[in-house]
Amino acid sequence: MSEHGEIETLPPFNGPIEIGLRAVTLLCEAFPLAYSFQRLVVSDYLLVHSDDLPGGPPGLHPKTPHRGGELLVRRAVLEQGLMLYQSRGLLERHYTEAGVMFAATERTAAFLDVLSSNYALQLRERAAWLVSLLGEMSDDELLDIANSQVGEWGAEFTMESVLKVEDAEWR
């Protein structure tokens, strides 16, 4: 409820509910490990664009131009999502020497078990795949991959438009 007594609603798509759910799903698969916020940002991108990694399963979201920029714009919404699910007891925040870390709780798996949509099931499959793939990778190594690829993810559309313009000029 807002300070004016109005009931606030959260957008269901690309808002704290959806992005937080993806973080909850990822942390549940990684349980009992805790992840840094930065690792969650990069992992959230890779959960929905798993086909951006060589040999990755089909992405849950469509390939869009310049989608690598999603890494930058989701940070604030992810933070809101983490706070939302933490307030429901589905995530824990730990303060460590390495920084603030997030982890699933004992209640997280039971919460996810009641979600039966196709999206939720595919999300759990992608989370298991991603945790397995990146399990031993440090946060710095993961960030290096993201930083080296951020301009490439979605750039195929830029090249495609250049080719269309060049093709049109020849006609």
CA dihedral 151, 129, 59, 86 (to 10 degrees): -80
Percent pLDDT > 90 in the chain is 56
Residue 26 lies in a domain: yes
**Chain-centre distance of CA 44, in angstroms?**
1
pLDDT score of 147: 81
DSSP assignment of 115-159 equals --SHHHHHHHHHHHHHHHHHTT--HHHHHHHHHHHTTTTTHHHHH
If you average pLDDT over every residue of the chain, what do you get?
85
pLDDT score of 11: 64
Residue 153 lies in a domain: yes
Which residues span the domain enclosing 165? 16-169
pTM of the predicted structure, to 2 decimals: 0.81
pLDDT score of 71: 77
pLDDT score of 162: 47
CB atoms within 10 A of CB 48: 20
**Do the beta carbons of residue 28 and residue 108 sit within 8 Å?**
yes
Residue 48 lies in a domain: yes
pLDDT score of 17: 93
Number of domains present in the structure of the chain: 1
Residue 131 lies in a domain: yes
Tell me: the pLDDT tens digits for 2-44? 566 776 776 666 789 999 999 999 999 999 999 999 999 999 9
Interstrand relation of 91-96 and 35-36 (parallel, antiparallel or unpaired):
unpaired
pLDDT score of 112: 97
Percent pLDDT > 70 in the chain is 81
Q: Does 17 or 169 have the greater pLDDT score? A: 17
Residue 7 lies in a domain: no
Residue 5 lies in a domain: no
Rounded mean pLDDT, 100-121: 96
Rounded mean pLDDT, 141-170: 64
Rounded mean pLDDT, 68-73: 76
